[in-house]
Amino acid sequence: MGFRVLGTGGCLPRRRVTNDELSQFLDTSDEWIRQRTGIAARHVCTTETLDDLATKAASEALRMAGVSPEDLDLVVCSTTSSDHLMPAEASAVSERLGARCPSFDVSAACAGFIFALDAADGWFARGRARYALVIGAERYSRILDWNDRATCVLFGDGAGAVVLGQADEGPLSLRLSTRPEVAALDVPGVTGNSPFYEGPQGPSVLSMKGREVFKFGVTSVVREIRALAKEAGMQPTDITHLVLHQANGRILDSATNALGLDPARVERTIQETGNISSACIPFALDRMVRQGRVHPGDTLAMVGFGAGLSVGSCLLRWDQLSAHVDDPQKPAAAPAD
């Protein structure tokens, strides 16, 4: 038993921050950010919470799928920037939606959406789910050091979601891996105010070895696309759409060149969102679906990579889902209410 995608949703916070705005308080420029990353703007939370973004994306996906929250058997949320250390972000979304099923989070940073998809795949394989909601939702604006120009210009906030339904076939291929290394990309946990703690104190903000992660990103994408295609008895050039983690436009360019692929097949949202971590893939997928660019029979390769260092990849053959797309022209990723 496998799954197919029945609906997608996406959400960005209302506030759009341009590179020029960042250069008003950081030693950076629009030119540097565009040339080195491909990012023109990102959206960040002002009054919205992550619960708001995740619930909006989930509601859109449920609506497209024609599935009621009460019919969900599982809610999994991938996040590393939840509104809550506990309970799970997925529980908060389930409460708001009115879902009454097991709800938990997955923490695998930018690879997390694929790890969450794999968890859901297991539920379908064991016959435990008819419908599952899988969300990627991130609010990195709360874990960035806004004085560090090498990292804070790269990220944004956002959410994406898919509703999955039981199907005879599963993904053509689904791969997870971790090359354990904390220092390459780390956000230390909060230290709290224990009167007994004697270890180091420090802010809970993101630090990253940019060049190392860049190389890891390119090699991971190239390896995964080749492996996904091979496992499905295809060539990389046979894959219709590549929905890759949006960390840096130059990572997308390098991987596309190394694989000899048509850049038009590689989805790009980074110019408007920056890196929204595990929300990148479901957000991009929602945009493609709502723009009517994914068709039954298409193959779709997704690759997420990041802190861990973890990589998740998945090759799907797209089934019909448009039965419930009541208005495909509706703009994707409406801001949170």
**Catalytic residue positions, numbered:** 110, 245, 275
State the distance between the two ends of the chain, measured CA to CA, in whole angstroms: 37
Window 243 to 262, contacts with ligand ACO (CB under 6 A): 247-248
Window 51 to 90, contacts with ligand ACO (CB under 6 A): none
Window 184 to 243, contacts with ligand ACO (CB under 6 A): 185, 210-211, 213-214, 217
Distance CA 211, CA 287 (A): 29
Q: Which two three-digit tokens encode residue 199?
A: 């270890």
CA torsion through residues 28, 31, 32, 33, sign: positive
Those residues with Cβ within 8 angstroms of residue 104's Cβ, 6 or more apart along the chain or in another chain: 75, 76, 77, 88, 90, 91
Q: Which of 79, 299 has the CB closer to ligand ACO?
A: 79
By CB under 6 A, tell whether 43 contacts ligand ACO.
no
Q: Which of 65, 185 has the CB closer to ligand ACO?
A: 185
By CB under 6 A, tell whether 280 contacts ligand ACO.
no
Q: Which two three-digit tokens encode residue 213?
A: 């992660």
Q: Which of 173, 275 has the CB closer to ligand ACO?
A: 275
Binding mask 3-32 for ligand ACO (x = CB under 6 A): -------------------------x---x
- The C-alpha angle 54, 57, 59, rounded to 5 degrees, equals 105
Q: Which two three-digit tokens encode residue 160?
A: 């994406």
- Tell the smallest beta-carbon distance from residue 234 to ligand ACO (Å): 27
Distance CA 56, CA 336 (A): 7
Residues that bind ligand ACO (CB under 6 A): 28, 32-33, 36-37, 109-110, 149-150, 153, 185, 210-211, 213-214, 217, 247-248, 275, 277, 306-307
